[in-house]
């Protein structure tokens, strides 16, 4: 858009009018309230301060009833305090230029802020714009489609956190999320969790990263085939940066991988192909579920109660050399199947090539399938996947929004692609950082001529997800609720009755959601936190990693930071000298830097730190399973760091008090072993109860 274009001029005019309207509304509201206070009841003569007021002889309608309050309109009005003289505010203090004193205007400003509509910057929304506009209109919020000079409450980005430079408000993207859900990064994050908890993370197919693990892939496949000659696997190759089915193909043998020049420039992930999926109408399908990551720390996750089911357009057959290239049979991607002549556009949620997930569950329920069990397994899959992603997301977050610096808060809608196997076990296919929120599809009117046609199935699911995400993220909701609670309290004895009379009544915005359906997003974490917190070992490792990064904004740990970590956690010993620590750092860091394409920063990344941490845990606690080794080492590190923090706090208090407190025995050896009665780190781990699980409802 050109600077002098009519669209830009129109946008500037709209913005100016909106700002002027907000100011005018605030001034008009303040003036009306002052008139009511100055004149008393409408039509009554003005009375001076100290002059006796006429008594009210009969019940009259209260101001609350006049302004739409639901309180009793027939109650007796309290005797009013004498109105202030003209030119004075409600507290008897002189006004200047029609404004009230600071005591009154400050309170009114807070009330008016809570009553104003939430502002949303949609200038970067891209393909989700139509669904976003509908959602904002349903919520009666204020949209700024061309941006705004003043800050907005919410910024809606179409691609990434960096679509715009934002220093306040809320933005619908987390920094680093796009990188974290790429095929390779997701596979590495889940693989770490599979090493720790293999049974808990068996919902993700076995994966190999190409080209670096090609030889490992060949060796492992050959070994399994030698042990079981009847095993005839199929593998699916997915480019790391691919989307919408681009570049995906199936193979039967590692020798079929297209190595010539493509893997070096375009790395990929190869996975075991799920050969026995659940079929509906003889067609393979997958599920797109929408997950809201509302907060990273503390972790807060919501799942949409409905999603989309995307169908293949060719009847399914198990993979064979003859049908490996039939993409309409094996790949469920909507962007591929829409080009099939068998694709069916339907306005019904129960038919067509795209349906609602709830319609699939209804059909399965009619056949006696336990729907609650399916939902329970899906919720577990989602929570475990997010737990695998959050450690590195925290590193990205502190890099882009360092603690103590101004910045927005973040939330994000993720698209989980899930496949149901024939035995109804859910399998995670991939996670999308930018799931499509389009609510229309292209329809070919004539050869080469297309038209966008509304899709009722998409609109039903996606508008609800965006609208209810906005409702959960509403930044003014707490202010309105607090204001309502304050106004509902009975008048206190010490409260100024004049100030109580001029208080702004609850705005209709407090009940503006009455016309909306119930929220379609269900909280699953921290609701089920007790069942899954034991899995968050890598999250605790990430906290240690961030603590020793040193420089704000960096994402890699330098050699000095790693040595400080070893020293402060008291991990060095006769069997692990500081020289051995330096060699460990160099070896692991060099190998991981050779595997990553991003060479902007030198140092140890989080994945390299995790590998080093595993090595240290296995060296220190040799007789335990890996997850107990890691948990014991984390407990040990956290214990020694807590002692160090306590010592620094005591020293800080001594420095500020100006005197030296009396000597105590505890000061003699702050890094000594825990006193009797304090459990040792390995004892803490061993004393934990067995993993407690209950069905998710």
Q: Do 557 and 545 touch, CB atoms closer than 8 A?
A: yes
Q: What is the 3-state secondary structure (H, E, C) of 500-537?
A: HHHCCCCCHHHHHHHHCCCCCEEEEECCCHHHHHHHCH
Q: Do 136 and 145 touch, CB atoms closer than 8 A?
A: no
Is the bond leading into 303 cis (omega within 30 degrees of zero)? no
Where is pLDDT greater, at 408 or 204? 204
Question: Which of the 8 DSSP states describes residue 557?
Answer: B
Confidence bin at 447 (pLDDT 50/70/90):
confident
Q: Which residues contact 233 (CB under 8 A, 6 or more apart)?
A: 221, 224, 252, 272, 273
Whole-number pLDDT of residue 599:
56
Backbone angles phi, psi at 596, to 5 degrees: -95, 145
Confidence bin at 264 (pLDDT 50/70/90):
low
Identify the weakest region by mean pLDDT among 66-75, 254-263, 651-660. Answer: 66-75
Q: Do 542 and 493 touch, CB atoms closer than 8 A?
A: no
The candidate with the shortest Cα–Cα distance to 355, out of 280, 275, 435, 434, is 280
Whole-number pLDDT of residue 501:
40
Contacts by residues 186-195 (CB-CB < 8 Å, ≥ 24 positions apart)? 186/389, 186/430, 186/431, 187/269, 188/607, 189/388, 189/389, 189/391, 189/392, 190/385, 190/388, 190/428, 192/388, 192/538, 192/607, 192/610, 193/384, 193/387, 193/388, 193/535, 193/538, 195/614, 195/626
Confidence bin at 462 (pLDDT 50/70/90):
very high
Q: pLDDT digits over 177-211, tens only? A: 999 999 999 999 999 999 999 999 999 999 999 98
Q: What is the mean pLDDT of residues 422-437?
A: 95
Q: What is the mean pLDDT of residues 372-398?
A: 96
Q: pLDDT digits over 651-692, tens only? A: 877 766 655 554 443 343 333 344 334 344 444 343 343 333
Whole-number pLDDT of residue 103:
54
Helices 606-620 and 626-657 pack at an angle, to 10 degrees, of 100
Q: What is the mean pLDDT of residues 478-497?
A: 60
Q: Do 491 and 500 touch, CB atoms closer than 8 A?
A: yes
Q: How many CB atoms lie within 10 A of CB 249?
A: 18
Identify the weakest region by mean pLDDT among 53-62, 517-526, 528-537, 603-612. Answer: 53-62
Q: pLDDT digits over 205-224, tens only? A: 999 999 889 999 999 999 99
Question: Which of the 8 DSSP states describes residue 171?
Answer: E
For residue 286, pLDDT over 70 is answered with yes
Could you tell me the CA-to-CA distances from 64 to 75, 131, 374, 668 in Å, in that order? 11, 37, 51, 68
Q: Is the dihedral of CA 385, 390, 391, 392 positive or negative?
A: positive
Radius of gyration for the alpha carbons in the chain, expressed in angstroms and rounded: 32
Identify the weakest region by mean pLDDT among 128-132, 324-328, 527-531, 649-653. Answer: 649-653
Cα 153 from Cα 477, distance rounded (Å): 12
Most confident of the following: 57-61, 439-443, 573-577, 632-636: 632-636
Q: Which residues contact 410 (CB under 8 A, 6 or more apart)?
A: 161, 170, 171, 172, 173, 174, 175, 296, 397, 401
Cα 575 from Cα 594, distance rounded (Å): 29
Confidence bin at 8 (pLDDT 50/70/90):
low
Cα 666 from Cα 672, distance rounded (Å): 10
Whole-number pLDDT of residue 284:
96
The secondary structure element, H or E, covering residue 279 is strand 279-280
Average pLDDT of the residues of the chain: 80
Is the bond leading into 218 cis (omega within 30 degrees of zero)? no
Where is pLDDT greater, at 352 or 162? 352
Q: pLDDT digits over 580-600, tens only? A: 999 999 999 999 988 765 555
Three-point CA angle 626, 586, 588, nearest 5°: 35
Q: Do 250 and 235 touch, CB atoms closer than 8 A?
A: yes
Whole-number pLDDT of residue 646:
92
Q: Do 374 and 364 touch, CB atoms closer than 8 A?
A: yes
The candidate with the shortest Cα–Cα distance to 396, out of 159, 209, 162, is 162
The model's pTM: 0.77
Q: What is the mean pLDDT of residues 375-391?
A: 97
Whole-number pLDDT of residue 244:
72
The secondary structure element, H or E, covering residue 539 is helix 537-547
Exposure of 427 by Cβ count < 10 A (0-12 exposed, 13-18 middle, 19+ buried)? middle
For residue 289, pLDDT over 50 is answered with yes
Backbone angles phi, psi at 196, to 5 degrees: -80, -45
Q: What is the 3-state secondary structure (H, E, C) of 195-232?
A: HHCCCCCCCCCCEEEECCCHHHHHHHHHHHHHHCCCCC
Q: Do 176 and 392 touch, CB atoms closer than 8 A?
A: yes
The candidate with the shortest Cα–Cα distance to 380, out of 691, 43, 64, is 691
Identify the weakest region by mean pLDDT among 81-90, 235-244, 462-471, 662-671. Answer: 662-671
Most confident of the following: 25-39, 117-131, 455-469: 455-469
Helices 626-657 and 537-547 pack at an angle, to 10 degrees, of 40
Question: Which of the 8 DSSP states describes residue 98?
Answer: T
Cα 184 from Cα 198, distance rounded (Å): 19
Q: pLDDT digits over 597-637, tens only? A: 555 568 999 999 999 999 999 999 998 999 999 999 999 99
């Amino acid at each position: 858009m050109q600077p002098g274009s009519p669209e830009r001029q129109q946008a500037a005019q709209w913005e100016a009018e909106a700002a002027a309207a907000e100011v005018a509304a605030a001034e008009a509201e303040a003036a009306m309230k002052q008139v009511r206070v100055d004149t008393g009841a409408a039509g009554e003569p003005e009375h001076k301060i100290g002059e006796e007021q006429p008594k009210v002889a009969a019940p009259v309608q209260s101001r609350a009833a006049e302004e739409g309050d639901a309180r009793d309109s027939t109650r007796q009005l309290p005797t009013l305090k004498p109105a202030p003289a003209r030119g004075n505010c409600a507290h008897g203090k002189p006004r200047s230029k029609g404004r009230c004193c600071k005591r009154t205007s400050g309170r009114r400003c807070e009330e008016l802020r809570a009553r104003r509509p939430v502002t949303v910057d949609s200038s970067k929304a891209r393909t989700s714009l139509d669904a976003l506009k509908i959602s904002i209109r349903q919520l009666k919020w204020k949209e700024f489609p061309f941006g705004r000079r003043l800050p907005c409450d919410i910024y809606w980005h179409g691609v990434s956190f960096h679509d715009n430079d934002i220093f306040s408000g809320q933005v619908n993207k987390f920094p680093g999320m796009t990188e974290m859900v790429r095929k390779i990064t997701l596979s590495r994050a889940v693989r770490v969790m599979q090493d720790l908890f293999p049974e808990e993370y068996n919902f993700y197919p076995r994966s190999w990263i190409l080209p670096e693990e090609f030889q490992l892939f060949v060796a492992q496949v050959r070994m399994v085939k030698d042990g079981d000659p009847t095993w005839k696997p199929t593998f699916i190759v997915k480019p790391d940066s691919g989307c919408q089915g681009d570049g995906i193909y199936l193979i039967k043998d590692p020798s079929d991988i297209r190595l010539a020049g493509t893997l070096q420039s375009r790395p990929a992930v190869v996975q075991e192909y799920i050969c026995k999926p659940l079929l509906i109408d003889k067609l393979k399908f997958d599920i797109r579920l929408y997950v809201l990551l509302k907060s990273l720390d503390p972790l807060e996750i919501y799942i949409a109660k409905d999603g989309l089911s995307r169908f293949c357009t060719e009847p399914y057959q198990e993979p064979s050399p003859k049908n490996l290239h039939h993409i309409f049979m094996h790949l469920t991607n909507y962007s591929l199947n829409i080009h099939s002549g068998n694709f069916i556009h339907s306005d019904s949620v129960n038919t067509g090539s795209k349906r609602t997930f709830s319609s699939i569950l209804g059909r399965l329920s009619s056949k006696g399938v336990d729907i609650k069990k399916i939902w329970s397994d899906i919720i577990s899959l989602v929570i475990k996947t997010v737990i695998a992603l959050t450690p590195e997301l925290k590193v990205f977050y502190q890099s882009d929004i360092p603690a103590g610096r101004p910045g927005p808060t973040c939330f994000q809608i993720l698209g989980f692609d899930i496949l149901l196997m024939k035995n109804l076990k859910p399998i995670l296919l991939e996670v999308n950082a930018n799931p499509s929120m389009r609510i229309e599809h292209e329809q070919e009117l004539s050869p080469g001529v297309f038209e966008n046609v509304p899709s009722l199935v998409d609109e039903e699911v996606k508008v609800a997800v965006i609208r209810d995400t906005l409702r959960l993220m509403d930044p003014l909701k707490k202010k309105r609720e607090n204001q309502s609670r304050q106004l509902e309290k009975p008048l206190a004895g010490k409260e100024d009755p004049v100030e109580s009379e001029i208080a702004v009544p609850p705005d209709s915005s407090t009940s503006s959601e009455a016309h909306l359906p119930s929220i379609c997003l269900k909280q699953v974490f921290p609701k089920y936190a007790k069942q899954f917190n034991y899995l968050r070992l890598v999250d605790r490792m990430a906290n240690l990693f961030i603590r020793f990064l040193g420089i704000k904004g960096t994402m890699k740990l330098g050699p000095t930071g790693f040595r400080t970590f070893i020293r402060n956690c008291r991990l060095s010993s006769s069997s692990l000298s500081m020289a051995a620590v330096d060699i460990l750092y160099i070896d692991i860091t060099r190998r991981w830097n050779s595997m990553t394409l991003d060479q902007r920063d030198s140092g140890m990344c989080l994945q390299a730190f995790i590998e080093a941490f595993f090595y240290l845990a296995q060296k220190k606690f040799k007789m335990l399973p890996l997850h107990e080794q890691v948990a014991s080492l984390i407990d040990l590190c956290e214990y020694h760091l807590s002692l160090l923090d306590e010592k620094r706090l005591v020293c800080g208090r001594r420095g500020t008090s100006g005197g030296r407190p009396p000597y105590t025995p505890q000061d003699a050896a702050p890094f000594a072993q825990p006193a009797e009665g304090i459990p040792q780190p390995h004892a803490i781990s061993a004393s934990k109860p067995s993993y407690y699980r209950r069905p998710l409802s």
